[in-house]
Structure 1
Amino acid sequence: MNSIQEQTQIREFAQAQERMPLFEALVDYAKKDVTPFDVPGHKMGAQASPLKNILGEMTMKMDVNSMKELDLLSHPESVIKEAQQLAANAFGADQAYFLVNGTTSGILAMILASCKPDDVLIVPRNCHKSVMNGLILSGAKPVFIEPEVDVHFGISHGISVKSVTKTLSAYPEAKAILVTYPTYFGSMNDLRAICSLAHDRDITVIVDSAHGAHLPFMPGQIDPIVAGADIVTMSMHKTGGSLTQSSILFLNEGRVSAKTMQKTLNMLQTTSANYLLMSSLDVARHDLALYGYDRYKDLKPLVEKAIHDIEQHTCFEVLKNDYVKKQNMQAYDWTKMVIRVNDSGLTGFEVYTLLKEKYQIQMELAEGYVVMAVVTTADDEESLKKLVYALCEIDRLYGRKIPIYSTNVTPTHPNKLLLSPRDAYYAEHELLPIDMALGKISADLLMIYPPGIPLVIPGELISEDVIQQYHYYSKTFGNVLTESALKHHITVVKPSITPPA
C-alpha cells in the first residue's frame, strides 16, 4: 500500500471516528422541550433534589428511557447500532456490544456463548470471581492452569504458553480457553501463540481484558483483538475514560456468531440500559480513536521519569518490562506501576494506608509486598510528581529498613478441585467457623478485592494454606470478601467429602 492510500485511509478513519452518534442524539433529546410521562420517575430532573443540585440539570435530562430516537440496546437499529459499529472499527473487531453491567456481564456472556453444560473450559486460576460465577451458570467444567508466580514481587503474572500447550494436549476435548490479558498487574503473555495453539484444535479463545481497553492505542503494544482472540471484553471505565460500570464486548465472528452473542447478552443485561453509561462509551471510543496514540506517546516519558525518581531516591523497586520478559517471557503494560516496598520494612498494605491518610493519594491496590498505581492519559507531570514525593517521604519517615517476607504472599500449593463449582453451589451446605473448615469442600468464594481474585472457590478443598491466607489478609488489610453474613465463617458442602490420601 502506497503512502497516498495510507493517508486516505487514515483521513477516512478519523472522519468516521469524529462522530458520536449515541452521545449526540442523547444531548439533542435532552435539549428539547419534552414533557415526559415515561420512566424514570424523576422526569428528567423536573423536581429539585440534592442529586440534581450536585449533578446538574443536563445530567438529569440525559438520564432517560429507551425510545425510537435513542434506540434499544437489546435490539439496536439506529444510533446504538452505529455507535457500536464505530467501536468495532476503532478496535479492529467484527462486532462490538455495549455493556452496562461492567465486564462481569461480558465474562458471563463469553462463557455462556462458548460453553454448554459439561463442556471443558480451560481457565487461569488467578482469574476474576466473575469467571467462577460463569462456571456455575454455564455448568462448564473448569480445568485450571496455575499462573506464573513472582516470589520477588509477591504477585502472579499470566499463564505461560508452555502450560497452555501441556493443558491443551491433556484436554483435547476442551471447547474454550479463557485468558486474562493483561493481568491485573499488567503482564501480557504471548497471546498470539496461545490463539494459534487453540485455533489449531478449533478451541474458542475468550479474553478477560478488563484492564486492557487502552492497549489498541498504545505504541508498541499487542492488543487481544489483533492477537486473534474470538471474544474480548474490555472495561472501558477502567482505562478508557468512560463512566464506571460501562464496558464493551468485542466479537470476531466464526466460532461464535453475532446472533448467539446478542441473544446471550440479552439474557444478562437490563432492559432499562442507562444512557449516561452507554453514551460515555461512545465518547471514550471517540477520544481513544482520535487522540489515544499521541496521548500515550506523550505520557510514557513522564512515567519513565517517575519510575527513575522512585528508584533513585527510595529503596522501592518498580516492575518493568525487561524484568518480566527475563523472568517470565512475558510483556508488560507500563501504565501499571507496581511498586515493591517490602525492602523498606513496610508492607504494601501499610504504604497504601499512609498514601491515603497522609497524602490523599488513592492507590489501586495493595498486596503484601507491593502497591499499584494505574496511570492513564488523565495523569500528568503534576500528579506523578505528587506520587513520587509521597513515596520518597514515606520511605524516609516510616521505613524500617528491615525487609519483610511472608510465605502467605505467594503460596505455592494450588487448591484441589473436588467438585465442579456448579455442583458445589447446588449441594447441601452448612456454615462453619473458618478455622473448623479444614478438609471441607468450599461452597463459598473467599475473595480479595481489589483485584477480585478468589482464595478459594466453590468445589475446592479448604486447605491450611487457604485458612492461613484468609487470616493474613484479614489481619493486614481487613478486606477479604465472603458470602457469609458471619465474620470468619465459611459455607461448606454438607456432608463433607474426605479428600483422597
Structure 2
Amino acid sequence: MPEKKPVSSNHYNVAQLRLESWNTLKSESTKLDQSSRGSSEEKNLRSNVRKQLENLQGVESYFAFPGISRLRALNEMLDRQEHTALANKIAEITKHLVSDRYRSNPDFIEEDDQGVDTSEKGELPDGVRKNYFEVLFVEDISLHEENKLRNDLKDLRGTNEQFNYGIVLQRTFEDALIALHFNYNIQAVVIRYAPPYHSKKVTPILKPFIEKVLDLDMASKPQSELGPILGTLVKKFRPELDTYYVTDTALGNLKDSTLKSFRRIFYRTEDLQELHLTILRGINERYETPFFSALKEYSKKPTGIFHAMPISRGNSVFKSRWINDFGNFYGRNMFLAETSSTTGGLDSLLQPTGSLKKAQKMASNAYGSLNTFFVTNGTSTANKIVVQALVKPGDVILIDRDCHKSHHYGLVLAGAYPVYLDSYPIEEYSMYGAVPLEQIKEKLLKLKEAGRLDLVKMLLLTNCTFDGLVYNVEKVMQEILAIKPDMVFLWDEAWFAFAGFTYNYKQRTGMFVAQKLYEKYRSNEYREEYADHIKNLKKDEPSKLPNPDEVRIRVYSTQSTHKTLSSFRQGSMIHIWDEDFRRKSENTFMEAYMTHTSTSPNYQMLASLDAGRRQVQFEGYELVEKSIEMAMVLRAKINDHPRLNKYFDVLTVSDFIPKEYRKSGLSEYYNPKDGWNRMETAWENDEFVLDPTKITLHIGRTGVDGDTFKNKYLMDKFNIQINKTSRNTVLFMTNIGTTRGSVTYLTNALLKIADELDKEFLSLSKKENKIRQDRIQSLTQDFPPLPDFSYFHHSFQAVPGVPGGNIREAFFLAYDEENYEYMPLEECLPSMENERTLVASSFIIPYPPGFPVLVPGQVVSKEIIRFLTALDVSEIHGYRADLGLRVFRDSVLNRQKTVTSMGAMGNNSKKKKLTK
C-alpha cells in the first residue's frame, strides 16, 4: 500500500508550523488589542488567542526560547486582559524568532527573563557578538528542581564568554528525542540518570511529525538502560552533538558501550561547574578552525617577501595604477592571506604536519570517515585520484555509463577495463535514472562465470545523480559483498556533500553505511544470522549474505563541498572508510594524490573547506532541513497555483522511479488534495529515492525547449542561474544558502513568464499557432529514444565475449591521425546498412544530458545515431558538425583484431560468449 500519511496541506514540518503559529498569534493579538472591550468580537478573539497559545505550548516545550515560561506569562497577561502589553510582547517574540536575532544576542533572553524592557535593544555590535545555543537536559525532576538547575547554571556563566546557552529540559525518553528532531539550536545533551520512557505531552498537532520517534518501541527496556540507549540514539541521529551522562553507577559496573557513547561521564556529587566548563570546552573545540585561524594569524604578521608570488600582501596590486581596482574589489585581506609559504603556522597540503593535518582530521570526524583529504581542483580531480590509487592496468571496474566524464578519463589514465552499466531510461524527459541492482549483480556473475571475478576491483556509482536519484547504498553494498567480499566502492557524491547532516539523507551515504556495515559484520548477532542463512541454503544456491570472515569494508566518497555546502569554487573532499587503507592503499593513494594535486594549492580555498566544516558541525542539521523545507514549499506553490500549473509541472517520485523500485509505494511528496506525505519509510527501504532539493520542472507545454527557456527567460530576463536542462525540463536546486526570499523571487519570475506566454499565445497567427502546437507536441509526446551502451568492438575487448573494454588502448590509438577518419552524421546509417562497423575513436558527450553516449572503442549503434540526429542541443563535446563523427579506419580495426586474437590464444577457448 502507498505510504500516504498526510500531515497538513499547509505545513511540511514543525518549523513551518511553529513560525506560522506565531505569526497567526501576532495577528490575532493585534486584533484583540484593537477590539472594543466587552464586545462579542473581543470574546471570540480572546478564545482564538487562548487556543493558539495552547497549541504553541506543545511546540515550545521543546525549545529554550521563547519556551514555556514565556507562554505562561502570555497566558497570565491574557487572563488580566492586558491586551496591549500582550500584543507588544507577542510581536517582539515573533520578530526575534523570524529574524533569529536572539541567537546572536542571547543577552536579550536573560534580560527578558528578569523583566527588562528589550523592545529597543538591537544586536550586539560586531566583535562582541555572542553565539547562542541550547543544551538538552534529560531528567525527571520537579519544577522547583528545574528552576534551581537553571539558576545555578546561569550563575556560572561569565559575562565575557563567547558562547551562551539556554536550557531545554525534557523529563522522558521520547520527549528528549522529539526535542532533538525539532530543535536545531541544541548543541549538547546531558542525560541525568535514567528517564522514564513515554511522553505525556504529545499533542495531536505534533504526532504526524514524530511518527518515527513514537514507533521506536523501547518501552520494554529496563529504565536503568534508557539513559545509555538515548546516548547511542543521539549519536545516530545527531552525531555532531556532544553527549554527557550523569550517573551514580560505579565505574566497574558501567558497560563499555556506555563509556564509548558519551564524551564524558559525571557523577551526581561532582561540581556543576565542571559540567558547565566541559560543555563550553566541547563547543570551543568544534568551533576551532586550525587552518583558517592560522591563515588569519599569518595575514597579520609583518613580512618581507623574497619568494614567489608578487601578488602576496597585495604589493603588486595596490601599488599599481592599472589594476588597483582589482585589489579594491577583493579587499586587502584576500591578498594578505596569499602566500606560497608553508611555515609561520601554515602547512603543506601534500605533506601536512600542522594546521592542515588537524583541519583534515576534524573534517574526517565531521563527515564520519576514517580519513579525509582536501582537494583544490574540484571533484573531477578527486575522482581521478581515487581511481588511479586503487586500480591498475588490467583491473576491471563496474561503472555507470552516465557518470561524470572525469571517471571515464580516469579509466583511460589508469588503464582499467570498464564494464559499463546502463541506467534505466526516462525517455519522456530525455534523461536517465539510475542503475538497478539486479543489473550490477548480473554483470558480476558473468565475470565470475568467465573466471575474471578476481580482477574486479571497484564498483563506481553516482550518488545522488544530477537529477536527484539516490541509491539504497546499504542494500547495494550488502548484496555485492555477498558475491565479491573485497569489492571497493567509489560513491561519487559530488552533489551529496550535504547529505551527512540529517538522518534521512545520511543513511544513504557511503561513509555512514560503511561504519554501519563494519560494526554489523563484526557482531555476534550477524555471525549467528549468517550461520543460519548458510544452513538453510539449497544445494548450489549462492549466499545472499557476505561471509563475515571474508568481507572487507572499503568505501570511498568524493564530494564537491562547493556545490552544496560552504566552500570556494573547486573546493572538494575525498572521504575514506577503508579498513585496509593503511595496509593496501595508502602508498598508492598518496602517489595518486601527489600526481594530481598542485604544489601551489589555493590557501583561500583550503581555509573555506576548514570554515565550512565548522559550519556543518554547528548548523548543518538546521540548514539542510531548511533547504529541504524550501524545496517542498516551492513544489507545493507550483502545484497549487493555477497560473503556474497551466504551463509547469514539478516532476515527482513516480515520474523518475518506476513502481518496481518503490517498495514503500510512495509516489509523490505532495499533492493539493492530500497534503504532505512522509518520506522516511521510502528512504529506509526503497531501491531508489528522489532528493526533493532537486526540483525538475517540466516545461513541455510552454512550447520552449529547456536550453532556450534557461537562456531567454531565466537568465536574460531574471538573472536566475541553473545548472541543467533537458529537451523539456529545467532543474532548480535548493541548498543551505536558499532563502525564503529567493524562493519567492523564483515564484514571481515563473508567474511573469506564465503571463508572457499567455500574451504570446494570444498574439500568434493561425500559422504561428500551428507551429507552436507542433512544438508542444514534440516536447510532450515525441521523445527521442535513449540508447543503451552498445558494446566494445572485439578489437578493444579485454577478453572476447566477456564484459570489460580496453578504453585506454582505443583512446591512445586515436593520437595518430592516420588511424581515424571523420564521417558525417547523415552518412553513418547508410554506411552501417552496407554492413560497415563504425567504432568511435573519441568521447562523444552531448550537453545536455552531459554523459558520454560514445566512448573510444565502442561500436556505434543505429540507436545512438538516431539519438544524436534527434538531439536539439548546440553543444556536443568530441563532435564537430563540420567534419562529422570521428571513427577508426577499418584497416586499424583489422590490425587490432589480429593483435587481440593473438593475445587471446592463451585464454580458455571454452568460455561461452557473454554480452558487452
- Shorter-chain TM-score above 0.5: yes
Note the alpha carbon deviations across 1:296-342, whole angstroms, 9 max, x for none: 22333332121112123324222334654554431121111111111
The answer (yes or no) to whether the contact 2:560–2:571 under 8 Å persists in 1 is yes
Residue 56 of structure 1, CA deviation: 1.7
Q: Aligned-pair distance for 1:261?
A: 2.0
Q: Which secondary structure does the structure 1 equivalent of 2:722 belong to? A: coil
Distance 1:338 1:13 in 2: 41
What is the aligned counterpart of 2:495 among 194, 211, 214? 211
* Equivalent residue in structure 1 for 2:858, among 453, 460, 464: 460
Deviation at 1:483, TM superposition (A): 7.2
Q: Write out aligned runs for 1:23-62 (5 A).
A: 23-47=292-316, 48=318, 49=323, 50-62=325-337
Q: Does 208-217 or 250-259 show the bigger shift? A: 250-259
Query: Following the alignment from structure 1 to structure 2, what is the Cα–Cα distance between the partners of residues 477 and 63?
Result: 41
Q: 2: distance between equivalents of 1:349 and 1:390?
A: 17
Give the corresponding residue for 2:542: none
Task: Give yes or no for contact 1:455–1:469 (8 Å, CA) kept in 2.
Answer: no
Supply the distance in 2 between the matched residues of 1:405 and 1:497 (Cα, whole angstroms).
42
| Larger of the two Rg values belongs to structure | 2
Higher helix share: 2
Distance in structure 1 (CA, Å) of the matches to 2:879 and 2:315: 40
What is residue 320 of structure 1 aligned with on the other side? 652
Shift, 1:451, TM fit: 6.2
Aligned AA for 1:176? Answer: M
Q: Deviations over 1:81-116 (max 9, x none)?
A: 111111111010000000011111111122112211
User: Aligned AA for 1:374?
Assistant: M
Residue 125 of structure 1 deviates from its aligned partner by: 0.9
1:376 aligns with 2:376: no
Residue matched to 1:272: 600
Distance 2:341 2:785 in 1: 48
The CA deviation string for residues 19-38 of structure 1, in whole angstroms up to 9 with x for no partner, is 11111111111121112111
Which whole-Å CA distance do the structure 1 matches of 2:649 and 2:846 have between them?
Answer: 23
For residue 467 of structure 1, report the CA deviation from its aligned partner: 3.8
Map 1:273-288 to 2 at 5 A: 273-288=601-616
Greater relative contact order (CA < 8 Å, ≥ 6 in sequence): 1
Partner of 1:416: 791
Tell me the matched-pair count: 497
Residue 197 of structure 1 deviates from its aligned partner by: 2.5
Q: 1:16 to 1:469 in 2, by over 3 A?
A: farther
Letter in 2 for 1:78: G
2:342 is equivalent to residue 67 of structure 1: yes
Matched, 1:492 2:887: yes
In the alignment, the residues of structure 2 paired with residue 79 and residue 124 of structure 1 have an alpha-carbon distance, to the nearest angstrom, of: 38
**1:426 corresponds to 2:751:** no
Q: CA deviation at 1:219?
A: 4.1
- Give the distance between the partners of 1:457 and 1:325, measured in 2 at CA: 27
Q: Are 1:447 and 2:857 matched, yes or no?
A: no
* Mapping 1:224-373, distance limit 5 Å: 224-228=510-514, 230-256=555-581, 257-312=585-640, 313-314=644-645, 315-321=647-653, 324=656, 327=659, 328-329=661-662, 330-353=688-711, 354-373=713-732
User: Contact conserved, 2:630 with 2:738, CA < 8 A, in 1?
Assistant: no
TM-score of the superposed pair, with normalisation by structure 2: 0.51
Does the 8 Å CA contact 2:628/2:734 hold for their aligned counterparts?
no
Deviation at 1:437, TM superposition (A): 5.6
Q: Does 1:22 align with 2:291?
A: yes
Partner Cα separation in structure 2 for residue 487 and residue 252 of structure 1: 48
| Whole-angstrom distance in 2 between the partners of 1:4 and 1:122 | 40
Amino acid at match of 2:349: L
Distance 2:845 2:338 in 1: 34
In 2, Cα distance between equivalents of 1:58 and 1:449: 39
1:84 aligns with 2:459: no
C-alpha contact (below 8 Å) 2:657/2:689 kept by paired residues:
yes
Equivalent-residue separation in structure 1 for 2:298 and 2:848 (angstroms): 38
Question: 1:54 is matched by which residue type in structure 2?
Answer: F
* CA drift at 1:460: 1.4
Task: Answer yes or no: is 1:482 the counterpart of 2:878.
Answer: yes
Alpha-carbon offset, residue 488 of structure 1: 4.9
8 Å CA contact retained: 2:839, 2:858:
yes
- Map 1:184-199 to 2 at 5 A: 184-199=466-481
The alignment-based identity, stated in percent, is 22
Q: Could you say if the C-alpha distance between residues 487 and 380 of structure 1 is closer, same or farther in structure 2, counting changes exceeding 3 Å?
A: farther
Between 1:176-185 and 1:6-15, the stretch displaced more is 6-15
Q: Distance in 2 between matches of 1:191 and 1:4?
A: 26
Q: Tell me which of 114, 117, 134 is aligned to 2:390.
A: 114
Distance in 1 separating the partners of 2:354 and 2:337: 18
Amino acid corresponding to residue 385 of structure 2 in structure 1: A
Q: Distance in 2 between matches of 1:267 and 1:346?
A: 45
